[in-house]
Amino acid sequence: DAGITQSPRYKITETGRQVTLMCHQTWSHSYMFWYRQDLGHGLRLIYYSAAADITDKGEVPDGYVVSRSKTENFPLTLESATRSQTSVYFCASTDPGRMNTEAFFGQGTRLTVV
């Protein structure tokens, strides 16, 4: 299916465990983003990537790791999950080559750390 998909949709993990959230897009968009959504904070940027093998920190990168070996995939890894990382995570992609192009979002992953 064309679009941007995230997996899993729901995940419960224990404190201290490593967990990876997957994001896949079929448009060959160069830019991809990871956000976390929390009440009172809105959407905060964790990491973003301008192209394969190019990543950069966003507003709240601590405790997260990303990689981008292929243009279409942008996994987010929590190296040692903490309760404060309980959140809804959204992946997005965009093509910045056009002015005012929109970002397209995945359906989100609801992560609970117990």
Partner 1 sequence: AQRVTQPEKLLSVFKGAPVELKCNYSYSGSPELFWYVQYSRQRLQLLLRHISRESIKGFTADLNKGETSFHLKKPFAQEEDSAMYYCALRDGYGNKLVFGAGTILRVKS
> Which residue ranges make up the site for partner 1 (CB under 8 A)?
31, 33, 35, 40-45, 48, 50, 56, 58, 90, 92, 94, 96, 99-100, 102-103, 105-108
Q: Which residue lies nearer to partner 1 by CB, 58 or 75? A: 58
CB of 50 to partner 1, least distance (A): 7
Helix (H, G, I), strand (E, B) or coil at 83: helix
User: Residue 14 or 39: which CB sits closer to partner 1?
Assistant: 39
Q: Smallest gap, in angstroms, from Cβ of residue 106 to partner 1?
A: 6
Whole-angstrom distance, CA of residue 36 vs CA of residue 43: 6
Minimum CB distance to partner 1, residue 34 (Å): 12
Residue 91 CB contacts under 8 Å (≥ 6 apart), including other chains: 4, 6, 21, 23, 25, 32, 33, 34, 35, 74, 76, 105, 106
| Residue 33, both tokens | 């983003």
Nearer to partner 1, 42 or 69 (CB): 42
